[in-house]
Structure 1
Amino acid sequence: MDFKIITSRQDDEDDEEHLTHHGSLQGGKSSIVAEALERRNKHWIVKTKVPSDLIVQVGDYSFHLHKLAIVSKSGYLNRLIFAKRSEGENGGSLKIVLDDLPGGTKSFESVVKFCYGWKIHVTATNVAPLNCAANFLEMSDDLQEGNLISKTDAFMNFAILSSWKDTFQVLKSCESVSPWAKELLIVKRCSDAIAWKASIDPKAFTFGQDHSNENLKAGESADNWWFHDVSTLRIDHFIEVIESIKRQGMKSELVGSCIAHWTAKWFSRITFGFDNLTVSKHLTQKLQRITIESIIKILPMEKDSVSCNFLLHLLKLGLIMHIDSQVLSKLERRIASMLEQCSVQDLLVKNYGDDQDTIHDVGIVIRVVKTYVFFGLRNSGTRLSIVGRLVDGYLTLIARDINLQVNDFKSLVDALPTNARSCDDNLYRAIDMYLKAHPNLTEEERTSVCRAMVYHRLSQDARQHATKNDRLPMKIVTEFMLLEQVKMARAMSVIESHNQRTMTKTTIKVNRGLDRESETPQKEIKMIRKEVENMKMQLNHLQMCKIKLQKQVQRSCIK
């Protein structure tokens, strides 16, 4: 694809330049005929037969120029020269200092060449700084038709609209002239172009010299083909692109995935947990904090747009970077609202510290569960039980970690209210695994861990296993055995009461039978009496076991 720029010259015929991704711009004929622009150390000198009468200082470099060549193209320099005209009346050159020129020396070198009527090389990588410099110097068509502003604008629009690759090159070149590029809407134009192209079939436009729309890489024709290129952008430009993509109506799931992809690329594996990344040197701690806050703020509001696991990683980064507390709290609440739809794998956030750290960050899950309980007090029992099963599954998974401290394990167990669990079998399994992986716990520590279990919420199999489990503290086993005996006693009492009623009914039947002069089988009566005697003996035995266990508990408490 070619792009034509027709430059106006006063003495020569029109000059057409055909540009593909780069080209030449040429200014109108200058009133000063110059042979060349030479550099001598830090001085740029225009070689002409007429001595220079203007020095423009840009950074550390000085440009020795001619007033007539400059004032015809730049309204800004025209005003400065007019204001300081008295300084050069004694035969010396007038000096002007430009400390804040967008693009610095490189851009001004091109500006000088343009003012003297020479061709300047323009590409997608330098057109934005050059356009900003032209706007700074007020090089508009009001001074001369086909001035630098209009020509760089035309080239830039072509580059942005025609080529995917050039759009990114223009946008990345805006980093060095960011305030001007934003004010002149260059960043917005690039962002809108990227958003538009990302939302349509990539075959509808060109990618650039090195990338053809006919040989896309495997998988790039999918909805996320644009993630890689967007993830190369700096945070402020990335935010602009995301906002444009949202306005374009992109699916929230794709927007969320793109944000996750960018975050994974820009943050190190040490803080984020991606094995193929090295420690990022691009971001200072302050910029990291601002970046995390910005990422959280631009997340799509739709509930399923980002995963719970990604949000937990963001929360971890936010805690490390000490981001704004309100932003942090808002993120915690969002994660808490997703717990009922999470799996155990969603809660896994790795630690990458020293050998004393746990494999997974348990503290961050404790924070989120507590937030869920605090803001979800009106949740139904069914919803609470879903989170209860989730937490018990997470406890079972992390219980084998030898670095998991008792306080952290217990804090997560206690983070949920008692009505969150209708059955404690999963909790018992997690506690048993924890005790097995931590054999050096004291009796007091083991007892504190087991206190969360409630006897009557264990199934019959779990209760039988617990009473024979050597890993459980003696105090807990004893209490469970006592409670089991009490339960059996109550059951026997119910049976005895039932048999009493049966005996009474039988006696009534016997009496009635006698009244009718009928005989009641003596064998049946003897069997009933025998059953009653056996039940009495069992009850006496249970009572003796109860007394014996109580004495054992008292002795263990004294010790």
Structure 2
Amino acid sequence: MDENCYLEVDVNGEEVFMVDKRVISSYSGKINKLFSKSNKTHHLKVIFHDFPGGAANFELITRFCYNKGKTANINPSNISNLICAAHFMEMNKFFAGTENLCEQTEKSLQEIKYWTWSEVLVALKQCQNLLRKPISSIILDKLSDSLIGRIASSHETSPCPSFSSPESPGFRLSCETRSSESFKNGVVRTTYWWFEDLVALNTRVIEVLVRSMVSKNFDNAIISKFLCYYQKSRFVTASSGEKSEMIETVVDLFSALDISYVSYKSLFEILRVGLNISLSHICRNKLESMIGSLLDQVTLDNLLVPSPAQKSYLYDVDLVVRFLRTFLRKGVCCVPLSRLKKVASLMDFYLVEIAPDPHLKPSKFLAVIRALPDSARDSLDGIYRAVSLYIEVHSTLSEEQKMAVCFGLNYEKLSTETFNHLIQNKIFPPKSITQALICRQRKLKSLLQDTEQVATTNRPSRSSQIVPKGRKGGGSQQIVLYARKLNLSDENEKLKAHLQGMQWRVSELEKVCRKMQFRMAKMMKSRLSSRSNARSVPKICS
């Protein structure tokens, strides 16, 4: 080789090649452009920092050039590198006589349908190192289409049949549940056989594959299971940076699925893992939003997430409040009542669990109570138990703080048994008990008025409406009179039962009122005594 034609090529710092400039430039547009106008003939050198496939791949390129544009070594293990290198060296214009390297490699890629599963995987693994190259996306799309088609075909020929919706051209992979355990195991092996093979691929390739699956209507339940399997399998050996990238990719892909096919347990596992690594704000919001939309499925243990390290309280209450806001983001009216009641019941248990935390501030405790409307609960007995426990544990709270906590209670939605317990509860502030009594009195009077209106509407005759003069006793005696004098037919038996029930309720009202008067008198007596002795006012409940 003429000394003036020597070209020194440093490939990614791995190896230095001495090649004939004339031979290489006749096939490479890049080399031709670099030296065609150069007058320098000695010590020619070019340095490549990002040559696709490194030194080994450059050697294949030089062999192609020295072999007059012929190569018999294009195969699945090097085709991705060769395609990228051919485009990098611009080997698509400067060869006359036969096909240039770009044409040869792309023609070989068209034979992908004859490759084995293993060969496609090998090509994908090679391609994952070339994702920053412009041409790599075209290669990756072809490889992923081939891979997904083979997965779909395996389901279609398996004992668990696959079917497609008439309106959808894509895949729909699912199977019926059978009682036979051996059949179930066979279905699992048939359905998920490809999980382990794809674990070796990096997150960028997985993202391309999964998004392609979603676009082809691949079964979201299977995709969800694969993402969980992938994250668990790779997480242990991944670096901290890889862990963050992996979690964010998996969460982003979960958000592209039908949320009903995503396991809330998997989401909570990812959430707990994410507490120890740096996740972007967008990723955390997506994860919390998905969990919030599935809140009616979760258990109490799932919600007991430790608080951030810089916080003194035990559990992350703010996180649960965000879950609740997400669950109700479309409005209470848009949430089925059955789901709403499940969440309300779950929150009752959660409130009892967090109430004993001595570092939990009243404002955070109240935030959980108020996150759901009263309409979500048939009874507020569960909230009462939590409030009672909270006040008992936080005995150092001021009367104002205790009253603030009690504002979370709607006394009208307490059962009679719970209400009776409240008015005898020594730890509740006197003002709260007084408000409860007044509220119950108002409620009973309202019920009494409603009953009197019903009775008036259903009177059979004018004479039966007359109440003897001088009769005292208020609404309870009138109800008794109506219940006795009304000549009710069979159709009005329900009304009779209602009137008799109201008679009992009003009797209870009178008992409660007497108790209230007694306690108010006792409270006034105690206040007068405390003024004379310069002592604090004692609690009225004893």
* Counterpart check, 1:187 vs 2:140: yes
Q: Which amino acid aligns with 1:321?
A: L
Q: Which structure 2 residue ranges, 5 or more long, are not aligned?
A: 159-184, 453-471, 486-506
Correspondence for 1:83:
37
- How much has 1:412 moved relative to structure 2? 0.9
- How much has 1:375 moved relative to structure 2? 3.6
> Could you list the per-position Cα deviations for residues 289-321 of structure 1 after superposition, in whole angstroms to 9, with x for gaps in the alignment?
xx7378436633534132455557778859963
Quick one: percent identity of the two aligned structures?
A: 23
C-alpha contact (below 8 Å) 2:308/2:316 kept by paired residues: no
- How much has 1:82 moved relative to structure 2? 3.2
- What is the distance in 1 between the residues matched to 2:481 and 2:101? 115
* Counterpart check, 1:62 vs 2:16: yes
SS of structure 2 residue aligned to 1:300: coil
SS of structure 2 residue aligned to 1:321: coil
C-alpha contact (below 8 Å) 1:196/1:248 kept by paired residues: no
* Counterpart check, 1:134 vs 2:93: no
SS of structure 1 residue aligned to 2:125: helix
- How much has 1:54 moved relative to structure 2? 2.3
- How much has 1:113 moved relative to structure 2? 3.7
Correspondence for 2:518:
545
SS of structure 2 residue aligned to 1:185: helix
> What TM-score do the two structures reach when normalised by structure 2?
0.65
Correspondence for 1:367:
322
C-alpha contact (below 8 Å) 2:224/2:254 kept by paired residues: no
C-alpha contact (below 8 Å) 1:485/1:546 kept by paired residues: no
Q: Label 1:491 to 1:106 Cα distance change in 2 as closer, same or farther (>3 A).
A: closer
- For the pair shown, the structure with the greater C-alpha radius of gyration is 1
Structure ranking higher in strand proportion? 1
Correspondence for 2:163:
none
- How much has 1:136 moved relative to structure 2? 1.9
- What is the distance in 2 between the residues matched to 1:349 and 1:169? 44
- How much has 1:104 moved relative to structure 2? 3.1
* Counterpart check, 1:392 vs 2:344: no
SS of structure 1 residue aligned to 2:191: coil
- Decide which moves more: 327-336 or 541-550: 327-336
Correspondence for 1:454:
410
C-alpha contact (below 8 Å) 1:172/1:233 kept by paired residues: yes
Correspondence for 1:112:
62
- What is the distance in 2 between the residues matched to 1:225 and 1:396? 45
Q: Label 1:204 to 1:158 Cα distance change in 2 as closer, same or farther (>3 A).
A: farther
| CA RMSD between the two structures | 5.0
- What is the distance in 2 between the residues matched to 1:231 and 1:465? 59
- What is the distance in 2 between the residues matched to 1:238 and 1:138? 29
> Could you list the per-position Cα deviations for residues 252-271 of structure 1 after superposition, in whole angstroms to 9, with x for gaps in the alignment?
2223333344455566xxxx
- What is the distance in 1 between the residues matched to 2:325 and 2:265? 17
Q: Which structure 1 residue ranges, 5 or more long, are not aligned?
A: 1-47, 206-216, 268-276, 509-533
Instruction: Please list, as runs of the form range in 1=range in 2, the aligned pairs for 1:140-539 lying within 5 A after superposition.
Output: 142-143=95-96, 145=98, 148-149=101-102, 152-153=105-106, 162-180=115-133, 182-183=135-136, 185-201=138-154, 221-264=189-232, 277=236, 280-283=239-242, 292=248, 295-296=251-252, 299-300=255-256, 302-308=258-264, 321-324=279-282, 336-339=292-295, 341-345=296-300, 348=303, 350-351=305-306, 354=309, 360-373=315-328, 375-376=330-331, 378-379=333-334, 382=337, 384-399=340-355, 404-434=360-390, 438=393, 441-444=396-399, 445-470=401-426, 472-473=428-429, 476-477=432-433, 480=436, 496-497=473-474
> Could you list the per-position Cα deviations for residues 212-263 of structure 1 after superposition, in whole angstroms to 9, with x for gaps in the alignment?
xxxxx98752433333443443333222101211233211222333334445
Correspondence for 1:26:
none
Q: Label 1:128 to 1:417 Cα distance change in 2 as closer, same or farther (>3 A).
A: same
Q: Label 1:94 to 1:246 Cα distance change in 2 as closer, same or farther (>3 A).
A: same
> Could you list the per-position Cα deviations for residues 81-103 of structure 1 after superposition, in whole angstroms to 9, with x for gaps in the alignment?
4333x322xxx354344344322
Q: Which amino acid aligns with 2:417?
A: D
